[in-house]
């Protein structure tokens, strides 16, 4: 049996889901909630352990995480490092390391965190509404 550790070039789609989910600061429970009623934190955990994920599930997860499906299907960490390594080794290194973007990357990161915070607050408000509705139904 071949594992990803033995073959680092092998793409592990479940690990990619986990990477993107964690980059967005989303918990497994939140992803399960977005995926629907039959999903749980445990099922998301099992999904993240799968080397190959069904296309329909990748499509759902990609929409929720707002990433292209191909990112989940094809992201390979070693390939990224190879691209970076080849870029630095095959070009003028001074030009590569003296890149000055026209935007502040930290500002973009803060914007992303603020958007994530806003989405989390909306999710929390939605959950509170659900709890209130359930309380009203039980009385």
Per-range mean pLDDT, top range of 63-67, 75-79, 88-92, 124-128: 124-128
CA–CA separation, 12 vs 16, rounded Å? 6
The superfamily (CATH) of domain 1-92 is lambda repressor-like DNA-binding domains (1.10.260.40)
Domain edges within the chain: 1-92, 100-139
Tell me the whole-structure pTM to 2 decimals.
0.52
Name the token pair of 86.
Answer: 């080849």
Give me the pLDDT at residue 108, please: 83
Name the token pair of 122.
Answer: 């909306």
> Among 74, 34, 20, 24, which residue's Cα sits nearest to residue 52?
74
Mean pLDDT, residues 111-128: 93
Confidence check: pLDDT of 126 > 90: yes
CA–CA separation, 48 vs 52, rounded Å? 10
């Amino acid at each position: 049996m071949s594992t990803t550790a033995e073959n680092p070039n092998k793409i592990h789609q479940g690990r990619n889901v986990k990477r993107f989910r964690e980059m967005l600061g989303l918990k497994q429970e939140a992803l399960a909630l977005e995926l629907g009623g039959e999903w749980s934190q445990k099922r998301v955990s099992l999904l993240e352990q799968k080397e190959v994920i069904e296309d329909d599930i990748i499509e759902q997860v990609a929409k929720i995480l707002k990433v292209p499906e191909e990112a989940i299907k094809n992201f390979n960490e070693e390939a990224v490092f190879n691209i970076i390594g080849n870029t630095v080794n095959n070009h003028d290194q001074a030009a590569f390391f003296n890149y000055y973007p026209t935007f502040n990357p930290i500002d973009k990161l803060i914007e992303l965190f603020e958007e994530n915070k806003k989405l989390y607050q909306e999710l929390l408000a939605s959950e509170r509404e659900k709890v209130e509705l359930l309380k009203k139904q039980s009385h």
